[in-house]
Each structure stands twice: as C-alpha cells, then as structure tokens.
Structure 1
C-alpha cells in the first residue's frame, strides 16, 4: 500500500529524530570511554534509555509509514514530550536557544504531521 504524503512526512520526522537520538547515544558512549562519567551505572542507564527512545522513534516511523494507529499514538506522545522539554528549557538562564529550537521545532512539526495524517486517514462517518 502506498503511504499518503502526510504519513511519509511524519515518518521522516520520526526517523530523523530517532537518528538524532542514536547520535546522542553514541556521543554518550564515547564520553563514557573517555572517562567523562561521574557514575558508571547512571551513565549506562542513560545510554540504554536513549537507545530505547531511538528504537521507539524508528519503530513509530515504520508504523506511521504503514498507517498504524499505535505508531501515530506513540509518535504523538513523544512529540508532546519533546515540546514539553523544549518549553521547560526556556526556564534556564541563559536560555539555550539552539536546544529549544532543535528539540521544539521538530516536535511541533512532527505533532502537526501526525495529527494531520491521522485525520486524513480516519474513516469518514455519515450521520
């Protein structure tokens, strides 16, 4: 089945976010190897959770591409979390604008695309 354009765009955003989290996990591994971790157990847990998040985003991307509602639901949850993280970082001084934009903009874009995709693919009801 050929995925609609909105579903492909939403899947692309999710896949790119998953790839970004994978890069972050690799940076954490290299930081761990250079002795930059204060607590080994905490560093390993952070790496594991980051890899789980990356895997979830990639799985949601494939599911959204196939029009699965579970993937759109999971993707929406992670986009809302990204937006919340970006908004929470606005309380830091000085405000890390690069982080706010790098996390918030894809979160908003992904959320809009996922919701639009779900709305377009929803069966119409005649009452």
Structure 2
C-alpha cells in the first residue's frame, strides 16, 4: 500500500502530539516527586492515564505513517477529544481562552491533515458506471 504525503504530514502531526503528551507525563512525574500534589493516588492515576493517551497517540501516528486506516480513525477521534478539552478550557468558571486556542488550533490542523490522508488513501472509483 502506497502512503501519500498527506499521510506523512498527518503522521508527523499526531506524533508531535504524542511527544507533547509525554512531556506532560514528565511534568506530572516531576510534580509528584516534588510533592506538588494533594493526593499521590490521584496523581499516579492521572500519570497512568496520560501515559496511556500518549502511547495511543504514538500508535496512531505509526499506523498513519504505514497507511493503516485504524490509525487515521483513531487520530480523528483523538482530535475531536482534544477539541472538547479546548472548548472546556476556553469556557466555564476558570476559563482561559488562550489555552483553549493553543489546544484547538493544532487539533484542527491535524484533523484536516488526517481527513486529507483518508481521502488520499481511497482507491480511485469509476463514477461513470
């Protein structure tokens, strides 16, 4: 299966998101080690869940690079979830619109790249029949 350049771009973007999530895991571990958490149990659970998200994003990036459709699907779902987090960050009692934009803009760009990769992966169809 031939992988198009749109898929390569999408894979790199999802891979960069995975690296960002792993950086958050490192920050969470540093906060836990420094005693900057109220509940060690909750902090450990959050670290595990964040690491799982990073691993999934890395798997999606690898699959998109290889041209596998499940990676594109998973990547699109991840972008929708990131957009939901961005909306939550931009609204509510403790709103930070700048943080919401910082999350939303890369998610939208990656979403578009994943959709373009999915369109490029479609086999050519003969619509005249």
State which drifts further: 91-100 or 48-57. 91-100
1:49-76, CA deviations, whole angstroms, 9 ceiling, x for partnerless residues?
Answer: 1111111111111100111000001000
1:2-81 to 2 correspondences below 5 Å: 3-81=3-81
Report if aligned partners of 2:9, 2:113 keep a CA contact under 8 Å in 1: yes
32-41 vs 86-95, which moves further = 86-95
Distance 1:16 1:4 in 2: 19
Residues 1:115 and 2:115 are matched in the alignment = yes
Paired residues of 2:90 and 2:99 also in contact (CA < 8 A): no
Give the RMSD, CA atoms, in angstroms.
1.5
Q: Which runs of 5+ in 2 are unaligned?
A: none
Deviation (angstroms), 1:94: 6.0
CA positional deviation for 1:40: 1.3
- 1:39, distance to aligned residue in structure 2 (A): 1.2
Aligned pairs, number:
127
Q: How far apart are residue 2 of structure 1 and its match?
A: 5.8
- Asked whether the 8 Å contact 2:90–2:101 carries over to 1, the reply is no
How far does residue 103 in structure 1 lie from its aligned partner after superposition? 1.1
